[in-house]
Structure 1
Amino acid sequence: MESHQPAGGRAAVSRSSLDDLQFFRVVASSETLTAASRELGCSLPVVSKRLSALERRLGVRLVQRGARRLVLTSEGTLYAARVETILGQLRELEDTLTDRSAGLHGTLVIECTLGLGRAHVAPLLGEFAEAHPALHVRLQTSALPLRRREFDVAIHVGTPPDSSLRMRRLARNRRLPCASPSYLARHGTPARVEDLASHDCIVLRENESDYALWRFGDAGHPRHIRVDGSLSSNDGDVVTGWALEGRGVIMRSEWHVRPHLERGELVRVLPHVPTPPADIYALTEDDEHVPRRVSELIDFLAARLPRRLGA
């Protein structure tokens, strides 16, 4: 007996499978199912029900239930990795087939640290999006932008911790120790790097490195000191605000403190001691094919960001 496929059945299956891949990509990159539901724009019960249906279809458990944070099983980890590969190949195919004379289209996901993202990257992305109206641009700011690999471009300050990523320098930068004139008047001005050990140093907890270890010198003569103080934060603006109030010494990017230095609100500490570079990089996956929207965005940022920072 001849079997008849319902009209549009194969297309429906293909669309459903693709939707499942995109759905699980969001789930796998989220810290909790609640976070995934916010990203997907639906309720937590809907996400949980759809995940269960996907697991039944595949016949394996993808996510461990009951954990406070979302934890993938070994099968879930394998599935997530293959999902990334398949969706990446699909994007590559679409870019290859698109006429290069056409305007940029699709979605760009950019990750950046909080302060740089708010102050400088966001305005530049607004200009880029205005010039390419068919492009959907999404900026995600985080104190730990490289913890998850859900981005097309990541803007990173300092040497990237992941050497597998392709990187391009967008602007030169250094971190400078600074304090307010009022703090230095009360506590004295450090004359040597070692003097910082006796000062209130405000620590920025912005990444997973040893944030209380302040580095000086250059590649040939590196120096460092472990600092301490009563105040710390993962928000650079908060840290700078405390310094402006005279509460301690900070180590911040030159792009961030330059306006305060120029207005005399902060004073550079130990100006005779060099600090190592903390340049600003654009990071992408090390793929052979880079979508045109990604390469053109990086070219745009490389041209505009240094001028905006005064670097």
Structure 2
Amino acid sequence: MDDLHFFHVVASNETLTAAARELGWSLPAVSKRLKALEQRLDVRLVHRGTRRLVLTSEGELYASHLEAILDRLRELEDLITHGSGELRGSIVVQSTLGLGRAHIAPLLGEFTARHPQVGIQLRTSALPLRPHRHEFDLAVHVGLPPDSTLRMRRLAKNRRVPCAAPSYVEQRGMPERIEDLAEHDCIVLRENEGDFDLWRFGDARHPRQVRVRGRLSSNDGDVVTDWALQGRGVIMRSEWQVRSHLDSGALVRVLPGVPTPPADIYALLSDDVHVPRRVSELIKYLAAHLPRRIGP
């Protein structure tokens, strides 16, 4: 294995132990190879003495550029070996939990059925994106990303809406103003980073917000929705996740006359890497088929 492939594996893992496991090597062998690479380049690529693998600034630079080199090399080899232009290679996709399970996973399955030489690894997580770690080729994210350096393409329109079960409204009453939510039991979704309990309303020109409180919170959107269906409180959820419950009457819209800002669904890519054709084709496929799955 050449140095480019070796360090790509190292930079893509949380620890040297995980990298050794992926490579099928012993940990001492990985450490020795990494030390030899650093000596050849005359720079330190990885900080020692940390529990997690942390790249130096030189390591970050090396990792970001070698990923583009490896992708272009694979595409060149595919073009030479398979002149048909068939899509080949692997793609790592990261998505939020609920959306990943309900819609992204089925679409990825369809895509691999159409392109049998493409392999896809789907990682679902409620944790915030870490693009500097180069952990994914493509991330599917609800709402604008916190990192402005990422390239993005909108896959589908979406917005978050407040809602509650009829039994909760019957017991506690229907909020009439945004400020009324502060006196209600609100169920908070602790997903990604930011102010979990700060609910936003209005639009870009007239933004409004309220800090809510309640006894229940979770990082799992399905759990939060189930609590609302049981009449435990008010939730703020994406339209795609609660539309069927609103249509059936299991949930009712709270403050229906008050607009909420968009929370569109985006495909995110690192801005400093070459985008392989298999990834760009996957983005086109998601943009073409995700709206029909989540639309009314």
Same fold (TM over 0.5): yes
CA contact (8 A) 2:229 2:251 kept: yes
Q: Superposed, which structure 2 residues align to 1:237-256 within 5 Å?
A: 237-256=222-241
The match for 1:119 is: 102
- Which of the numbers 49, 52, 64 marks the counterpart of 2:32? 52
Deviation at 1:27, TM superposition (A): 2.9
| Cα distance in 2 between the residues matched to 1:122 and 1:227 | 32
The match for 2:92 is: 109
| Cα distance in 1 between the residues matched to 2:210 and 2:249 | 26
1:269 aligns with 2:254: yes
| Cα distance in 2 between the residues matched to 1:51 and 1:110 | 28
| Cα distance in 1 between the residues matched to 2:37 and 2:61 | 16
- Which of the numbers 136, 142, 147 marks the counterpart of 2:125? 142
The match for 1:25 is: 8
Q: Superposed, which structure 2 residues align to 1:223-302 within 5 Å?
A: 223-286=208-271, 290-302=275-287
Instruction: State the percentage of identical aligned residues.
Output: 67
Q: What SS does structure 2 have at the residue aligned with 1:225?
A: strand
Residues 208-231 of structure 1 show CA distances to partners (whole Å, capped at 9, x for unaligned) of 122211110011111011111122
Deviation at 1:119, TM superposition (A): 0.4
Residues 18-43 of structure 1 show CA distances to partners (whole Å, capped at 9, x for unaligned) of xx4334333323333454456x1748
Letter in 2 for 1:105: R
The match for 1:63 is: 46
More displaced 10-residue stretch of structure 1: 51-60 or 133-142? 51-60
How many residues are treated as equivalent by the alignment?
Answer: 291
CA contact (8 A) 2:246 2:253 kept: yes
More displaced 10-residue stretch of structure 1: 104-113 or 266-275? 104-113
Q: Which runs of 5+ in 1 are unaligned?
A: 1-15
Deviation at 1:52, TM superposition (A): 3.2
Deviation at 1:159, TM superposition (A): 1.0
Residues 48-98 of structure 1 show CA distances to partners (whole Å, capped at 9, x for unaligned) of 531233214433654344433333345544443443343344345446657
Normalised by the size of structure 2, how large is the TM-score? Answer: 0.88
Structure showing greater Rg: 1
Normalised by the size of structure 1, how large is the TM-score? Answer: 0.84
Change (3 A) 1:210 1:22: farther
Letter in 1 for 2:101: R
| Cα distance in 2 between the residues matched to 1:196 and 1:272 | 15
| Cα distance in 2 between the residues matched to 1:224 and 1:168 | 27
Change (3 A) 1:48 1:194: farther
CA contact (8 A) 1:173 1:277 kept: yes
| Cα distance in 1 between the residues matched to 2:195 and 2:284 | 32
Q: What SS does structure 1 have at the residue aligned with 2:153?
A: strand
Deviation at 1:153, TM superposition (A): 1.8
Deviation at 1:157, TM superposition (A): 0.8
The match for 1:7 is: none
